[in-house]
């Protein structure tokens, strides 16, 4: 039932399962597979929710902001359930905060926390509370401020 509602919501909001709505003065749609290949990073970490090591692909917040929100000092990410997380300029500059859109070489879909999510590639279990507060998933919108 949840999956049906999720698909219906994505259809009604016109956001495809592999797209993000970008707001930077105007709204546009970014197809995640169109992110520049030279900006994509790949890394393997322990995923604390699945409790296993997984390989992720994505783009650093710094490269994402430089490519799509050049003058932004903040980045507001919104999830499918309207949960919002804001990243400051200092956090955007952190090369370990990654906007992930692939898991084990497959594009993320809403049933596996897609179309995009945030992961800290320097995740350490002993800093669980610090890192996971910003691990937003099911991201459908990025607003550059």
Tens digit of each residue's pLDDT (9 = 90 or more) over 22-65:
999 899 999 988 898 889 999 998 888 888 999 999 999 999 99
Boundaries of every domain in the chain: 2-144
d(CA 28, CA 93): 24
Task: Look at the alpha carbons of 137, 55, 47, 90 in this order and tell me if their dihedral is positive or negative.
Answer: negative
pLDDT above 50 for 12: no
d(CA 134, CA 77): 10
Lowest mean pLDDT of 6-15, 25-34, 63-72, name the range.
6-15
Residues in the chain, overall count: 145
* CATH superfamily, region 2-144: Oxidoreductase, molybdopterin-binding domain (3.90.420.10)
d(CA 99, CA 137): 10
Let me know if 57 is exposed, middle or buried by CB neighbors in 10 A (0-12, 13-18, 19+): buried
């Amino acid at each position: 039932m949840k999956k049906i509602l999720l698909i219906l919501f994505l259809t009604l909001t016109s956001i495809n399962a592999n797209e993000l709505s970008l707001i930077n003065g105007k709204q546009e749609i970014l197809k995640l597979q169109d992110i520049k290949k030279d900006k994509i990073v790949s890394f393997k970490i322990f995923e604390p929710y699945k409790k296993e090591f997984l390989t992720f692909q994505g783009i650093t917040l710094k490269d994402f902001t430089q490519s799509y929100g050049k003058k932004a000092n903040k980045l507001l990410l919104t999830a499918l359930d309207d949960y919002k997380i804001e990243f400051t300029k200092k956090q955007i500059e952190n090369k370990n905060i990654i906007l992930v859109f692939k898991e084990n070489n497959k594009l993320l879909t809403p049933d596996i926390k897609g179309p995009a999510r945030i992961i800290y590639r320097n995740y350490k279990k002993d800093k669980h509370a610090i890192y996971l507060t910003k691990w937003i998933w099911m991201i459908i919108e990025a607003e550059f401020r």
